[in-house]
């Protein structure tokens, strides 16, 4: 079985986001970029499934600019077999990314597609669900445990009420939670080996997919600065302030 894993290049989670002075977006020039964190869990899980002999190939795919190759190389250094870069504007909306992925899935025929539960740049949490709808495949979102057994996949989902266990049938779409596993670090020899692993480059225009945006971004601005907090001496004073000053109770 082939496993396809999606990896998105995003601003590193440690970076303090800066809004561009013209309000057209956030600054990405000279900013540290990394693999979207839950995508690392997706890569790790695909590798673990392969290591148990239940998969024979792990393919990583990214949709974005030329530099997304670096993100693919990181996944290859972790142990993935080959990569695919779909060259496109890195700000494609989730529906457009899902349509692009659908095209590649129809060609590559994987039995399992692992995505991150959410990209930390747009926080959309939509791509996996949309992809599942486009393909008509079963899906598990926010997954913190995966067990593959023949043609079925038992998963545990992290939901608001607690944990939900589901049994799905292959082919499946799974979106991975950070609690799924601890991603491995790439060793130096594997980083060197990854340089020789193949990455196919495709242009999004050649896939015949409508990627036109459906959302018009008007302006990006910083959230208001948080006001300084105040200390209260006891609960009575807290209640009094909430009631008469903040007027929230
Ligand atoms: P989102 O729906 O934007 O929150 O993204 C959810 C997941 O979809 C991410 O964690 C990635 O695994 C995948 N994804 C979204 N956009 C891209 C992209 N441009 N390239 C590769 N994977 C992506």
- Are the beta carbons of 58 and 79 closer than 8 angstroms? yes
pLDDT by residue (tens digit) across 130-156?
999 999 999 999 999 999 999 999 999
Q: How many domains does the chain have?
A: 1
Distance separating alpha carbons of residues 205 and 182, to the nearest angstrom: 36
Determine the structural domain holding residue 69 and report its residue range. 2-244
Q: Judging by DSSP bridges, how do beta strands 152-159 and 138-149 pair with one another?
A: antiparallel
pLDDT of residue 225: 87
Is the dihedral angle over the CA atoms 67, 68, 72, 75 positive or is it negative? positive
Distance separating alpha carbons of residues 224 and 147, to the nearest angstrom: 45
Q: Which residues contact 93 (CB under 8 A, 6 or more apart)?
A: 124, 211, 213, 214, 215
pLDDT of residue 125: 97
pLDDT of residue 60: 98
pLDDT of residue 117: 98
pLDDT by residue (tens digit) across 90-128?
689 999 999 999 999 999 999 999 999 999 999 999 999
Q: Which residues of the chain have pLDDT under 50?
A: none
User: Which is the closest atom of ligand 1 to the Cα of 88?
Assistant: 19
Residue 249: inside a domain, yes or no?
no
Q: What is the DSSP string of 15-29?
A: S---B-TTSSSB--T
pLDDT of residue 90: 65
Ligand 1: residue whose CA is nearest its atom 8: 127
Q: What is the CATH number of the domain that holds 193?
A: 3.40.50.620
Residue 186: inside a domain, yes or no?
yes
Tell how far the Cα of 8 is from the centroid of ligand 1, in angstroms: 6
Residue 129: inside a domain, yes or no?
yes
pLDDT of residue 227: 87
In a mutational test of the pocket of ligand 1, which residue from 60, 112, 119 has the highest number of ligand atoms less than 8 Å from its CB? Answer: 119
Tell how far the Cα of 99 is from the centroid of ligand 1, in angstroms: 12
The burial class, CB within 10 Å (0-12 / 13-18 / 19+), for 63 is: buried
pLDDT of residue 52: 97
């Amino acid at each position: 079985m082939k496993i396809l894993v999606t990896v998105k290049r995003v601003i590193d989670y440690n970076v303090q986001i800066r809004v561009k002075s013209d309000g057209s977006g956030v600054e990405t020039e000279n900013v540290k970029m990394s693999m979207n964190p839950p995508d690392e869990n997706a890569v790790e899980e695909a590798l673990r499934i392969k290591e148990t002999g239940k998969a024979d190939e792990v393919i990583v795919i990214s949709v974005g600019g030329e530099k997304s190759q670096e993100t693919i190389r990181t996944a290859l250094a972790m142990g993935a077999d080959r990569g695919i870069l779909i060259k496109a504007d890195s700000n494609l909306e989730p529906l457009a990314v899902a349509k692009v992925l659908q095209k590649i899935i129809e060609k590559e025929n994987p039995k399992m597609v692992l995505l991150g539960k959410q990209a930390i740049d747009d926080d959309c949490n939509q791509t996996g669900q949309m992809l599942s709808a486009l393909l008509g495949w079963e899906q598990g979102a926010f997954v913190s445990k995966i067990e593959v057994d023949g043609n079925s996949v038992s998963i545990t989902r992290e939901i608001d009420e607690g944990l939900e266990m589901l049994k799905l049938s292959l082919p499946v779409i799974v979106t991975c939670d950070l609690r799924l596993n601890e991603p491995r670090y790439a060793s130096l020899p594997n980083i060197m080996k990854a340089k020789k692993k193949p990455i196919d480059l495709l242009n999004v225009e050649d896939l015949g997919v409508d990627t036109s945006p459906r959302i018009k971004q008007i302006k990006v601005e910083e959230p208001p600065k948080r006001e300084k907090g105040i200390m209260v001496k006891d609960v009575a004073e807290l209640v009094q302030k909430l009631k008469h000053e903040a007027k929230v109770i």
